[in-house]
């Protein structure tokens, strides 16, 4: 995960992965926790395929 300047934000991410087994759709759920930086884009890897998913964090007033 890439970290940049700014306030850190802890996130709980829930992934929904659709898979097909034997022609039937199945949904898997995976949960992970990350710390990302406010206002900057951080990259987190998908727990299944390893590709990076871009996340932009902003706080609410």
DSSP string, 5-59: SS-EEEEEEEEEEEEEETTEEEEEEEEEEEEEEBTSEEEEE-TTT--EEEEEB--
pLDDT of residue 25: 77
The model's pTM: 0.38
C-alpha 32, offset from chain centre: 8
The one-character DSSP state at 60 is: -
Model confidence band, residue 4 (pLDDT cutoffs 50, 70, 90): very low
- Are 42 and 59 contacting, i.e. CB atoms less than 8 angstroms apart? no
| pLDDT tens, position by position, 9-60 | 787 877 777 777 787 878 777 787 877 777 766 666 666 677 766 665 555 5
């Amino acid at each position: 995960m890439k970290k940049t300047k700014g306030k850190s934000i802890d996130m709980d991410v829930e992934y929904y992965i659709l898979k097909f087994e034997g022609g039937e759709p199945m949904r898997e759920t995976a949960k992970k926790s990350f710390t990302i930086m406010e206002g900057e884009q951080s990259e987190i890897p998908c727990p299944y395929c390893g590709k990076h998913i871009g996340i932009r964090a902003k706080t609410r007033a």
